[in-house]
């Protein structure tokens, strides 16, 4: 859906609109639940988490200007591996065994198959773009671990609502700087892409991510992030009539097998 929306606008324009829709959706849900709207008092970690989250997006969307879409996706989705490694190092109770390591390796290999024909260094890819994308993955992993450790017990709806709301001003400024900050919302692709990505793909998905991180080991939760590019490829084939090759199907099977291995490992 993001790809559909981006047909009619610049990336930062899409980001500020998506963040606004996401924030309004989650705040409306909080009001319906009669929950607290204000951020928690005296909790600096709440604001540090917001800063880290939005820094990740700033780095990534700057990085994609210097690399190809396939390479950017591959480097960004090292995040599950990095998050699991960070969690295992800093949280002894989250160390993983050989079975899970094999599972992550299988899923990572599946991504290589999935994006195999898009990993050429041609088409404007540079070492700077790859490095920045990897840095974005590190920032995302660090923020996820920070969120898990420092904000456990804080309502995930409040975390999501304020994180998305505070993303609007910087992305709106960047959109204004780069060019057209307001798209043609009469375009069905633009409207569908922004509304779906804001309400479901970002709003509700982030609430679920925060909740799962708080309740389950980081390795088991993050392994499912490998499914994001898989769904992207399959939806691209269904909605946008993009080609679906045998290598892509094999890659998807490897990702699924890897996730099974990670989540079937017995915990001590």
Q: Which domain holds residue 61?
A: 2-264
User: Contact 262/103 with Cβ under 8 angstroms?
Assistant: yes
Each residue of 21-55: pLDDT tens digit? Answer: 999 999 999 999 998 899 988 899 999 999 999 99
Angle, CA 132 vertex, CA 175 and CA 202 arms, to 5°: 55
Better pLDDT: 86 or 231? 86
Each residue of 17-27: pLDDT tens digit? Answer: 999 999 999 99
User: Structural domain tally of the chain?
Assistant: 1
**pTM, 2 dp:** 0.83
Each residue of 95-137: pLDDT tens digit? Answer: 888 888 898 898 888 888 877 766 665 555 577 888 888 899 9
């Amino acid at each position: 859906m993001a790809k559909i929306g981006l047909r009619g606008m610049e990336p930062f324009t899409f980001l500020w609109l998506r963040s606004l829709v996401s924030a309004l959706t989650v705040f409306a849900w909080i009001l319906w639940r009669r929950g607290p709207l204000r951020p928690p008092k005296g909790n600096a970690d709440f604001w540090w988490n917001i800063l880290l989250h939005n820094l990740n997006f700033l780095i990534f969307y700057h990085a994609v200007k210097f690399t190809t879409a396939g390479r950017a996706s591959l480097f960004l989705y090292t995040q599950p591996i990095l998050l699991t490694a960070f969690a295992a190092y800093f949280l002894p109770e989250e160390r993983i065994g050989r079975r899970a390591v094999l599972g992550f390796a299988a899923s990572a290999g599946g991504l290589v198959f999935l994006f195999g024909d898009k990993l050429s260094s041609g088409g404007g890819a540079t070492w700077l773009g790859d490095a920045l994308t990897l840095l974005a993955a590190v920032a995302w992993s660090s923020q996820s671990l920070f969120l898990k450790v420092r904000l456990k017990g804080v309502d995930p709806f409040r975390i999501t609502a304020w994180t998305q709301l505070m993303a609007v001003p910087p992305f709106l400024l960047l959109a204004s700087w780069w060019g057209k900050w307001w798209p043609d919302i009469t375009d069905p692709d633009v409207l569908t892409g922004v509304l779906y990505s804001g309400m479901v793909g970002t709003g509700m998905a982030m609430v679920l991510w925060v909740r799962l991180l708080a309740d389950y080991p980081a390795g088991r939760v993050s392994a499912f992030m490998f499914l994001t590019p898989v769904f992207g490829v399959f939806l691209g084939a269904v909605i946008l009539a993009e080609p679906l090759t045998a290598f892509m199907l094999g890659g998807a099977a490897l990702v699924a097998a890897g996730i099974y291995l990670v989540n079937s490992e017995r915990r001590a």
